Structure 1
Amino acid sequence: MGWALIGASNVARQWIVDAIRAQADSSIVTVLSSSEERGAKFAAETGIPAHTTDIDTILADDRVDAVYISTANEFHCNQTLAAARAGKNVLCEKPVALTIPNAREMIATCHTAGVILGVNHHLRCNAMHQKLRQLLAEGVIGSLNAVRVFHANFLPRLLQGWRINDTQGGGLILDSTIHDIDTLRFLMGCNPTHVMAMTQSGRLAHDGVEDGIMVVMRFPGDVLVQIHGSYTVPFSEGGVEFYGSEGVLVGRDCMSQRAAGRLFMRNAEGEKEIPVHHHNLYHYALAAFSNAVRGAGQPAATGEDGLAALTIALAIRDAARTGRQIKVEIP
């Protein structure tokens, strides 16, 4: 399977290049960057044989079976549409798009073209979350009452850029909170019905771009969920807590790109750690996507998963801006 990287990004450099090469019979043909200099440097440092600033060069290349898109959020839609129409399978970074109509068009176009669309919501590929999902489905803590998610950290200077400057595609909600949303959907198997939120800005971001957030969501069964996210909190350990009628499940250090996380259960018998056998999140995601392209299974997160997460994220942003409780309606 031949790949092209659309975007010479940090996530591509740190995680995706290795994950593609870890798959059987897979290679990276070329990388696209809007900067000739950046593209050349990226290709040289990662051992990719070619680079380009022209997406049409990629779309016309018969060696390219799939593209990984990690450009700025505003470009995801048009680049996905172009790739799909050229018969290329697409693994797109989150958010899948900036608007619901664009996300729906991306899904429809990929379907019509007969290509796979996956969205890189990597946290659902964490072995700890997968074990937690299994335990919740088995009902080991009884009926669910409330959930807390902690995804507060400090955004390093290397990753700041558009995340703290772009008033449309940047900000914590579409960059980080959307991962929490997808993870909750994955763990709970349903979507929230209503959301409320308050944001912070000015500690790192400016011009109203949010760099901190508190979210309250209501899920089916009258389950209340709280999310705390931030770009400006160093030394915080990300995690999740699920409170049930018969016990509590706690996941610690599990909201990053690393193959990490410890899972604990507390009930009438005390607290015990539940063993988790970790795997590389991106190797897992690329294996699922590659298998889907070859006709077996589906991506870890589909285009429809990306659309649902985007819809909820936009509802949260609307709630924060208006100060109102917003009803969530998934297309």
Structure 2
Amino acid sequence: RARAEALAGPFGIPKVYDSYDALLADPDVDAVYVANIHPAHLEWVVKAAEAGKHILVEKPIGLNRPEAAQMIAAAEQHDVFLMEAFMYRCHPQIARTTELIASGAIGQVRLIRSAFGYNAGSNYDGRALNQSLGGGGILDVGCYPISAARWLAGAAQGQPFADPTSFKAHGVLAPTGVDHYTAATMAFPGDIIAEVSTAVGCNIPGEVTVFGSEGTLSIDNPWLPSSPCRSAREPLPPETTFPAATIQLTRGGNRETITVPADRDLFTYEADMVANHIAARQAPAMSWADT
């Protein structure tokens, strides 16, 4: 409780709770953000749904497809909002990229390359490398490049996302048994191929690049655009500015930088996405079917 009070004070948050159960029992709480360790998502999403709370749950929504299906079923049964928190999907650069792909700015999409990885060191008890805590690159950050490949393959065909027709991966395990670094190829309808890579055993620069028959598109900061401070301990000052996102478009040897302005933090875009779509119970940024 002391830690909760210390965080709540600077932000003017009027209530803190001794437990998750106490929070869910409060009738004044309309929505919750489930951001505990991966293996705990199922329990607390289901409990939140049963309590009638709308839910934003950190990625990955669960450890596997059956867990995700169980959470979606709970949201349907109790008529509450549920979204898997892929925050990057909520930024305006996603809509702009979708427009460019759908308009044929680079011709027919042929190949997608997407990556996200970091070096978690050798703390085998820590979350990133601990199997019992849902560690490993694929669950932690590999879900980003996979979700981006699905989104872009769908955008190329006028759909919100596309399911791969085949998936082949190679990886190396850490001593704890979690995936340490992994690369995979995905094939999609329309003769689209995606190369995705992830790691908690080495640094891999964040990348989203799309190669088409007439050009190339690359997002400069695909995962954390317009986010000057991810872990603020006090409200950001009113004069805080948020960096614009940039997309590089290359056609016929000419390179153009497309700027996508931002008027708020990336995670504020995500919170607004939830608030604006609670009545629909799903948000277009990350639908249940896409999850």
TM-score scaled by structure 2?
A: 0.81
Answering whether residue 185 of structure 2 is matched by residue 200 of structure 1, we say no
**In structure 2, C-alpha distance between the alignment counterparts of 1:275 and 1:171, rounded to whole Å:** 34
1:227 aligns to what? 196
Aligned to 1:253: 221
- Alignment of structure 1 residues 144-293 onto 2, 5 Å: 144-155=109-120, 161-167=126-132, 169-189=134-154, 190-202=162-174, 206-234=175-203, 237-256=205-224, 258-259=226-227, 261-279=245-263, 280-293=265-278
Aligned with 2:178: secondary structure? coil
Supply the AA of the counterpart residue of 2:58. E
2:145–2:208 contact (8 Å) kept in structure 1: no
Aligned equivalent of 1:21: none
Alpha-carbon distance in structure 2 between the residues aligned to 1:167 and 1:209: 10
Shift of 1:146: 0.9
Structure 2 distance, partners of 1:109, 1:103, is 10
Matches of 1:224 and 1:101 in 2, distance apart? Answer: 27
- The code of the aligned residue for 2:251 comes to N
Residues 65-105 of structure 1: CA deviation (Å, up to 9, x unaligned)? 11110011111111111111111111111111123222212
Letter in 2 for 1:54: S
Q: Which letter maps to 1:185?
A: R
Counterpart-to-counterpart distance in 2, 1:166 and 1:53: 28
Higher mean alpha-carbon deviation, 215-224 vs 184-193, is at: 184-193
Deviation by residue 1:158-178 (Cα, 9 ceiling, x = unmatched):
9x8212112561111011011
Q: 2:22: which partner in 1?
A: 57
| d(CA) in 2 for partners of 1:173, 1:69 | 19
Q: Is the 8 A contact 1:129 1:187 kept in 2?
A: no
Report which stretch shifted further, 88-97 or 161-170: 161-170
Q: Can you give the 5+ residue segments of structure 2 that lack an aligned partner in the other structure?
A: 155-161, 228-243
Give the direction of change, closer, same or farther, for the CA distance of 1:254–1:39 in structure 2 (3 Å limit): same
Is there any run of 5+ residues in structure 1 with no aligned partner, and where? 1-35, 307-331
Which amino acid counterpart does residue 278 of structure 2 have in structure 1?
A: V
* Inter-CA distance 103–42: structure 2 relative to 1 (3 Å threshold): same
Which deviates further from its counterpart, 116-125 or 278-287?
278-287
Query: In the TM superposition, what is the alpha-carbon distance from 1:37 to its structure 2 partner?
Result: 4.9
Aligned partner of 1:91 among 50, 53, 56: 56
Residues 233/102 of structure 1: CA separation in 2 closer, same or farther (3 Å cut): closer
Aligned Cα root-mean-square deviation (Å):
2.6
1:79 aligns with 2:44: yes
Count of matched residue positions in the alignment of Structure 1 and Structure 2 = 266
Identity %: 29
Counterpart CA distance in 2 for 1:100 and 1:111 is: 16
Aligned AA (1:207): T
Q: Evaluate the alpha carbon distance shift between residue 180 and residue 77 of structure 1 in structure 2; reply closer, same or farther with a 3 A threshold.
A: same
> Could you tell me which amino acid in structure 2 is paired with residue 291 of structure 1?
N
Per-residue deviation, residues 192-250 of structure 1 (Å, max 9, x unmatched): 11111122344xxx31212311111111122111112223444x542211111111112
Q: Is the 8 A contact 2:116 2:207 kept in 1?
A: yes
Secondary structure of the 2:275 match is helix
Offset of residue 40 of structure 1: 4.3
Q: Using structure 1 for the length normalisation, give the TM-score.
A: 0.72
Structure 1 residue 63: Cα displacement: 0.3
Report the Cα distance in structure 1 between the residues aligned to 2:40 and 2:118, rounded to whole angstroms.
26
Matched residue, 2:231 = none
